[in-house]
Amino acid sequence: MLKAMLGEAWRAMGANRLRTVLTMLGMVIGVGSVVLMLAIGQGAQYAVAQTISTMGSNLYILISGSTSTSGLRSGGGGGPTLTVADGEAISELDGVANVAPVHQGTQQLVYGANNWNSTVVGTTPNYLEARAWTLISGYPFGDSDVRSATRVALIGQTAVDNLFGSDDPLGKTIRIRQSPFVIVGVLGRKGQNLDGRDQDDTVIIPLTTAQRKVFGTPFVGSVRLMMVQATSAEAMPVVEKNLTALLRQRHRIREDQENDFYLRNLAAAADSAAETTRVMSMLLGAIASVSLLVGGIGIMNIMLVSVTERTREIGIRMAIGARQRDILTQFLLEALMISVAGCLIGLLLGIGGALLTNALTNMVIVISGTSVLVAFGVAAAVGVFFGYYPAHRAAGLDPIEALRHQ
């Protein structure tokens, strides 16, 4: 019986093609815009997630406290109060995966006739792991390089482009502040960070080498900045508490004194960026849903007209034995068919529009199976929801009245 009714619904749709197509158009536009907006929104989310993952996950940045000299106060990171020994103690804590003390600054790099100003990062081998940074060629330096302050360097892609052009930098020697450094590894490309800074414009060298040969600090073994990576997001609150207690103890800070360091949670910043795009993507979806709603109302409108027009037909069907639920099913199927057909066309248009957007603007587009399924489910629900009232009205007609209807 359902098969026969599907056939009839198909025939009813074909009977007034222009009207069916126009009704469907509401659904087409609704579903199309939902799919397109979700694709753009999820693309933005994906792009942000990518950027965040390049920073490294579950990261804390530990910054030394400010100093005060004759009334002149430095900002955070002003005094070299964090020591490498502090870092080693922190790495013993439960839930800490990596600790990397960092001494960084900008320096002029020279290779042959080229020179380039770039960020020089002096750190320990853990840094690469904390930042989830991989090498595309060569090897990272090891702890022995840090101990003996060897002049080796890992070079980022932007620095490679500017100093070496198309040459292979591996094994070449560059000069940083008159000291020669051998390039032992080339870093993979990371792109911009959340501030828009180019993370690839960098050279990484051992911490000891940086302090002794490049920057020349009177406080060797002390740093202003440390990266601390927790083993998981769940471990972060515990790490924060224990790390604070440990440093207060090591720095002999009395109960009533403030910390002489700052602990910044990078995950929080990342979360807020992700949250922003999530809200934006939801907003886009919500706006698009309004057009889906309008499409649904269009279906309801046309179905009501159709029921009125076909009152007599309904009367005939009832006279020859159609039960109320048969009439209800028939009109519900028609509404469902229009919305599902509109949904299919809308899906194709939406996906096509998303691909076109991607081709024209290079915007990141993500078409997920979930969003397609959701759009489809919503369209079917719209068909049933907005088709139910007209169908119910048709089924509730009095057979005698319906038969007399002109």
Query: In one letter, which amino acid is 323?
Result: R
Give every CB contact of residue 197 below 8 A, 6+ residues apart in sequence: none
Q: Is 313 in the site for another protein (CB under 8 A)?
A: yes
Q: Is 3 in the site for another protein (CB under 8 A)?
A: yes
Tell me the closest approach of the beta carbon of residue 1 to another protein, in angstroms.
6
Query: Residues 317, 334, 339, 341: which binds another protein (CB under 8 A)?
Result: 317
Report d(CA 380, CA 373) in Å as an integer.
11
Q: Looking at 9-17, 74-82, 188-196, 331-339, which segment touches another protein (CB under 8 A)?
A: 9-17
Secondary structure E strands in 251-389: 261-265
Tell me the closest approach of the beta carbon of residue 396 to another protein, in angstroms.
9
As given in the structure block, the two tokens for residue 98 are 């990596």
Q: Looking at 75-83, 110-118, 190-198, 316-324, which segment touches another protein (CB under 8 A)?
A: 316-324
Question: Residue 135's beta-bridge partner residues?
Answer: 187
| CA 290 from centroid of its chain's CA atoms | 25
Tell me the closest approach of the beta carbon of residue 17 to another protein, in angstroms.
13
Q: Residues binding another protein: what is the number (CB under 8 A)?
A: 24
Alpha helices for 64-123 (secondary structure H): 84-91
**CA dist 110 → 51, 107, 154, 191, 260 (Å):** 30, 10, 15, 23, 38
Q: Is 334 in the site for another protein (CB under 8 A)?
A: no
Q: Is 321 in the site for another protein (CB under 8 A)?
A: yes
Q: Is 19 in the site for another protein (CB under 8 A)?
A: no
Q: Looking at 1-9, 109-117, 164-172, 245-253, which segment touches another protein (CB under 8 A)?
A: 1-9
Q: Looking at 130-138, 188-196, 321-329, 359-367, which segment touches another protein (CB under 8 A)?
A: 321-329
Q: Is 320 in the site for another protein (CB under 8 A)?
A: yes
Query: Residues 192, 272, 324, 370: which binds another protein (CB under 8 A)?
Result: 324
* Terminal Cα distance for the chain, rounded: 28
Q: Is 316 in the site for another protein (CB under 8 A)?
A: yes
367-406: which residues touch another protein (CB under 8 A)? 399-400, 403-404
Q: Tokens 């929104």 appear where?
A: 41
Q: Tokens 């440093």 appear where?
A: 247
DSSP-derived 3-state class of residue 212? helix
Tell me the closest approach of the beta carbon of residue 24 to another protein, in angstroms.
19
Query: Residues 154, 228, 318, 333: which binds another protein (CB under 8 A)?
Result: 318
Question: Residue 82's beta-bridge partner residues?
Answer: 223
Tell me the closest approach of the beta carbon of residue 326 to another protein, in angstroms.
6
Q: Looking at 155-163, 309-317, 360-368, 384-392, which segment touches another protein (CB under 8 A)?
A: 309-317
Q: Looking at 69-77, 78-86, 293-301, 310-318, which segment touches another protein (CB under 8 A)?
A: 310-318
Nearer to another protein, 29 or 337 (CB): 337
Report d(CA 281, CA 337) in Å as an integer.
29
Contact 59, 232 (CB under 8 A): no
Report d(CA 14, CA 397) in Å as an integer.
24
Helix axes 17-55, 369-395, angle to 10 degrees: 150
Q: Is 151 in the site for another protein (CB under 8 A)?
A: no
Dihedral sign, Cα of residue 343, residue 348, residue 352, residue 355: positive
The string of DSSP codes covering 241-260 is HHHHHHHHHHTT--TTSPPS
| Residues of the shown chain interacting with another protein in the complex, contacts defined by CB under 8 A | 1, 3-5, 11-12, 15, 312-313, 316-326, 399-400, 403-404
